[in-house]
Amino acid sequence: MADIKNEISKRKTFAIISHPDAGKTTLTEKFLLYGGAIQTAGAVKSNKIKKSATSDFMEIERQRGISVATSVMTFEFKGMLINLLDTPGHKDFAEDTYRTLTAVDSVILVIDCVKGVEEQTEKLMEVCRMRDTPVIVFVNKLDRDGKDPFDLMDEIEAKLDIRLHPLSWPINRGPFFKGVYNIFDRNLNLFRASSQKVEEEYVSISNLDNEELDRQIGRDADQLRTDIELIEGVYGDFDTSTYLSGKIAPVFFGSAINNFGVRELLETFIRIAPNPRPRYTDTRLVEPEEKKFSGFIFKIHANIDPNHRNRIAFLRICSGVFERNKFYKHVRLDKEMRFSSPATFMASEKNIIDEAYPGDVIGLYDTGNFKIGDTLTEGEKMTYKGIPSFSPEIFRELINKDPMKTKQLEKGIMQLTEEGVAQVFTILHGSTKIIGTVGDLQFDVIQYRLKNEYGASAEFRPINYYKACWITAEDPTEMNNFIRTKANYMAYDRENNPVFLASSEWILKLTQQDYPAIQFHFSSEFKTD
């Protein structure tokens, strides 16, 4: 077995996040190209409808041309083992992205230089700030006419509430885009439009007064000198520790589709991004170097291979060494389990592994034992924190269209909600099931998967609820009184926790005023509030 400290020092685990169409999947592809995980750029196409990406393997993703589930890809680059989690950009699947952010140590945020900061980007950044996750910003599509780089940086700082520090700088943009100057490494990277190659043309210019700069980029040389002088005056020297604490975000510029500016980003990333970090459980802080294994499930995916009915639980390893066929404690179920086929992934392609180290994300075949947030250990009773479900925003009643397939429908809904695709609430009086999601598109995904994976036909009837609130109370009598009085608005989640379904914002506020002994929670993580 390898030395654990050495293995941890080789690992970087991060997510790429962005608003839809900012170029996230294209950037993912170029990283894989540099890592030798794919051979040509055509292997992962920008995830549009006609050509699917390596990271888009569900049939509905291919049909819609969007990523609806997080994919895990592992590759090597310059002696580092990189675990890359490609997340859904679409806002309707934001909750999957939020949970993925609990499993990574840092983030690369992609911003379209034409559109600037968009709403979904702001929400994702809020989640990063909650955890002080280090963020690197990649401003994409410099080959298009976009916003002035200084104006764009002001917009990013204002809307995302984070200080920036440019580590590369564009030379012109749109049809006049000539390349980027790498401030971090003091060299000039000249733009040659090519999506296939990974070779780029570098000119080492450590002193911007060098006449070679004028020969290379002509009249843009003076503007670059002025820009860099201003940047260095305003931002000063880059301090890696402020980036690692989540206080400053380094910024890189480029064009992922043309494979430009990506290498500087990747090479700087492996030098400054954090290795696997310590994590909190409900009892203590766990250090990655600890000898005993521990980890948590942050994602469950059913039927990852349509030819084999299976579920895969994605495990983030937090400490120690995970070994194949060794028994580990499933803390919630209080039972010992072992795994004969743990796997690493290149999207839907998987490789069986014998051992894995902190920072690694592996897939465990699951027969229904896991749910999101479960912790595995070598015996210690503890649970990793920070993997919540949020209060849904859209509610619909589940209607069974084929009574002969009731069992299949029940099984499908339970498995899909275990995956975190949606939340299910059962009305207190009766067996009516309410499905709650954060976006409309999830209902299409649920309907499609119920039909194609479980043979069950269902439709969804709109129902007028504003918020689902988990409720707790210190006094059991107050709790019972509330549930009895509000019986028409009460339901239970899949873990049998009582949930109050408020029909409007006004009703919710009124109820909170009328029942001060009841605590209303908008996240399932109320147990650790």
CATH, residue 338: 3.40.50.300
Rg (C-alpha) for the chain, rounded Å, is 25
Domain finish residue from 272, 295, 327? 272
| C-alpha distance across the termini of the chain, in Å | 39
Show the tokens assigned to 350.
Answer: 């998987």
Same domain, yes or no: 398 and 294: no
Residue 268 inside a domain? The answer is: yes
Same domain, yes or no: 158 and 71: yes
Q: What is the mean pLDDT of residues 449-464?
A: 88
Rounded-to-integer distance, Cα 63 and Cα 83, Å: 27
Q: At which residue do the structure tokens 């003076």 appear?
A: 222
Residue 470 inside a domain? The answer is: yes
Same domain, yes or no: 420 and 463: yes
149-160 vs 119-130: helix axis angle to the nearest 10? 60
Q: Is pLDDT at 356 greater than 70 in this prediction?
A: yes
Total domains present in the chain: 3
Q: Is pLDDT at 68 greater than 50 in this prediction?
A: no
Same domain, yes or no: 113 and 258: yes
Q: What is the mean pLDDT of residues 308-329?
A: 87
Taken in order 31, 32, 36, 42, the sign of the CA dihedral is: negative
Taken in order 276, 87, 131, 164, the sign of the CA dihedral is: positive
Task: Find, among 290, 298, 411, the residue nearest to 364 by Cα.
Answer: 298
Q: Is pLDDT at 180 greater than 90 in this prediction?
A: no
Percent of the chain past pLDDT 70, that is, above it, reads 83
Same domain, yes or no: 15 and 163: yes
Would you place residue 453 in the very low, low, confident or very high pLDDT band (cuts 50, 70, 90)?
confident
Same domain, yes or no: 253 and 356: no
Residue 382 inside a domain? The answer is: no
pLDDT digits 0-9 by tens, 472-488: 999 999 999 999 999 99
Same domain, yes or no: 54 and 74: yes
Domain finish residue from 243, 272, 301? 272
Residue 389 inside a domain? The answer is: no
Same domain, yes or no: 490 and 452: yes
Would you place residue 56 in the very low, low, confident or very high pLDDT band (cuts 50, 70, 90)?
very low
| Mean pLDDT, rounded, of the chain | 82
Same domain, yes or no: 90 and 210: yes
Q: What is the mean pLDDT of residues 412-416?
A: 83
Same domain, yes or no: 194 and 155: yes
Rounded-to-integer distance, Cα 17 and Cα 474, Å: 40
pLDDT digits 0-9 by tens, 364-393: 988 878 888 899 999 999 999 866 666 787
- Residue 190 phi/psi, 5-degree rounding, is -90, 135
pLDDT digits 0-9 by tens, 241-268: 999 999 999 999 988 888 788 888 999 9
Residue 384 inside a domain? The answer is: no
68 or 160, higher pLDDT: 160
Q: Is pLDDT at 283 greater than 80 in this prediction?
A: yes
Task: Find, among 345, 185, 364, 192, the residue nearest to 265 by Cα.
Answer: 185
For the ranges 41-50, 105-114, 141-150, 443-452, the maximum mean pLDDT occurs at 105-114
Residue 513 inside a domain? The answer is: yes
Same domain, yes or no: 286 and 348: yes
Which letter, b or e, does each residue of 37-72 get, where b requires 16 or more Cβ atoms within 10 Å of its Cβ? bbeebeebbbbeeeebbbbbbbebbbebbbbbbbbb
Q: What is the mean pLDDT of residues 313-336?
A: 94
- For residue 502, the enclosing domain spans 394-528
Q: Is pLDDT at 93 greater than 70 in this prediction?
A: no
Q: Is pLDDT at 348 greater than 60 in this prediction?
A: no
Residue 13 inside a domain? The answer is: yes
Which letter, b or e, does each residue of 93-111 get, where b requires 16 or more Cβ atoms within 10 Å of its Cβ? bbbbbbbbbbbbbbbbbbb
Residue 515 inside a domain? The answer is: yes
Domain finish residue from 377, 402, 432? 377
Same domain, yes or no: 180 and 84: yes
Q: What is the mean pLDDT of residues 50-75?
A: 51
